[in-house]
């Protein structure tokens, strides 16, 4: 997504229209074989993801089950829309949060409106130093970030943090988040800390590869930095979970299952890659008793392909059969 695309989304698309697109996208995800989605913010569409989640749960529209995080959080001056005249009162892509008490209040508000997860932006402004480390500017103070995490955990929920540079990752781990999103700047020390704390890592490689050519600056070398970090994280035993940041690249035209291909290219076996989207993902969500493996008593979520994904992981980009909770939504084997 370009800067212009983002501005058009917030300034020209109504929330009802975006909810319609979200319902379409949940159906696309289901047809691609993804029976569950963790939606890590609505980008200015308020709590519309909760409405789409409810519509799917009630059978009004078909789609992947949704774990919603609603609005996401960032402090003043760190997240678009920015750069417009100060005289204009423009919509925000996130819930703007400043100060410890406002952080706790925002958590309570989002959970009260249906958030399953809380998501915040830990950093922005990425740059490499001569030693090859990817750095960033940290958004929240440690006290603010800890308040977000502590309040979320107190209310029985989990926290995901957008953390690209090493500084943002370090701040997120200090705060005690449950998952690191993107994580391009992971260093060996931070990978060890993630393992020790049991934090999950969602690399979202597909979106990085997609946007890097058009953004320039640090974005292109970030792709290679993440490739190296991924290999080290895999070796160290970091809990890597499938995630793509789809929406940052088009829902139509590029199957989000492409992420599997990168995991295998970066060092995983096909079976390890599959587990990032099944058993490990279910564990992160706290739903291991319901999904993630095929066992008696669990929800009947099943997908099938024509070939062997253990021999060719790209088979998962050509899902031909999808069952969710025992209901068949796609069957091309007839």
- What pLDDT does residue 121 have? 98
Q: What is the pLDDT of residue 182?
A: 98
Q: Quick one: pLDDT at residue 82? A: 87
Q: Tell me, what's the pLDDT at 321?
A: 98
pLDDT at site 3: 80
In order along its 334 residues, the chain shows pLDDT tens digits of 778 888 889 999 999 999 999 999 999 999 999 999 999 999 999 999 999 999 999 999 999 999 999 999 999 999 999 899 999 999 999 999 999 999 999 999 999 999 999 999 999 999 999 999 999 999 999 999 999 999 999 999 999 999 999 999 999 999 999 999 999 999 999 999 999 999 999 999 999 999 999 888 899 999 999 999 999 999 999 999 999 999 999 999 899 999 999 999 999 999 999 999 999 999 999 999 999 999 999 999 999 999 999 999 999 999 999 999 999 999 999 7
**Residue 22 Rama label (left phi>0; alpha psi -120 to 50; beta):** alpha
Is there a contact between 103 and 148 (Cβ–Cβ < 8 Å)? yes
What pLDDT does residue 214 have? 87
CB atoms within 10 A of CB 201: 26
CA pseudo-torsion sign 75, 77, 82, 85: positive
What CATH number does the domain containing 45 carry? 3.20.20.140
Can you list the alpha helix ranges (DSSP code H) found in the chain?
A: 3-12, 15-31, 48-57, 100-112, 142-154, 166-175, 188-197, 205-215, 219-236, 258-265, 270-276, 279-285
- Domain range for 74 is 3-331
- Dihedral sign for Cα 178, 184, 185, 189, please: positive
Write down the pLDDT at residue 210. Answer: 94
> What is d(CA 310, CA 211) in angstroms, rounded to the nearest whole number?
29
Give the pLDDT score at 216: 84
CA–CA dist 27, 142 (Å, integer): 39
Rounded distance, CA 296 to CA 310, Å? 24
The count of structural domains within the chain is 1
Q: What is the pLDDT of residue 129?
A: 97
Q: Report whether 159 contacts 120 (CB < 8 A).
A: yes
Per-residue pLDDT at 315: 98
Greatest extent of the chain over all pairs of C-alpha atoms, in Å: 60
């Amino acid at each position: 997504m370009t800067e212009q695309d983002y501005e058009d989304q917030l300034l020209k698309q109504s929330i009802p229209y975006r909810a319609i697109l979200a319902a379409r996208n949940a159906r696309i995800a289901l047809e691609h074989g993804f029976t569950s989605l963790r939606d890590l913010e609505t980008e200015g569409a308020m709590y519309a993801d909760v409405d789409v989640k409810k519509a799917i749960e009630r059978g009004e529209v078909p789609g992947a089950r949704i774990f919603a995080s609603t609005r996401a959080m960032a402090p003043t001056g760190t997240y678009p829309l920015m750069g417009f005249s100060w005289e204009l009162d423009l919509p925000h892509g996130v819930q703007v949060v400043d100060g410890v008490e406002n952080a706790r209040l925002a958590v309570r508000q989002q959970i009260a409106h249906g958030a399953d997860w809380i998501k915040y932006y830990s950093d922005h402004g990425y740059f490499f130093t001569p030693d090859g480390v990817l750095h960033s500017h940290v958004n929240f103070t440690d006290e603010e970030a800890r308040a977000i995490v502590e309040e979320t955990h107190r209310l029985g929920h989990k926290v995901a943090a957008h953390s690209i540079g090493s500084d943002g990752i370090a701040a997120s781990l200090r705060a005690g988040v449950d998952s690191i999103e993107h994580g391009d700047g992971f260093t060996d020390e931070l990978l060890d800390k993630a393992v020790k704390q049991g934090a999950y890592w969602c690399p979202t490689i597909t979106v990085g590869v997609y946007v890097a050519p058009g953004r320039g600056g640090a974005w292109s070398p970030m792709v290679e930095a993440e490739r190296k970090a991924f290999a080290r994280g895999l070796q160290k035993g970091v809990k890597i979970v499938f995630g793509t940041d789809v929406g940052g690249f088009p829902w139509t035209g590029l199957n989000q299952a492409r992420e599997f291909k990168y995991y295998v290219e970066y060092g995983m076996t096909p079976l390890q890659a599959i587990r990032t989207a099944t058993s490990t993902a279910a564990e992160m969500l706290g739903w291991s008793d319901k999904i993630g493996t095929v066992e008696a008593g669990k929800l009947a979520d099943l997908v099938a392909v024509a070939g062997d994904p253990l021999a060719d992981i790209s088979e998962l980009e050509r899902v031909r059969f999808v069952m969710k909770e025992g209901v068949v939504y796609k069957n091309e084997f007839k």
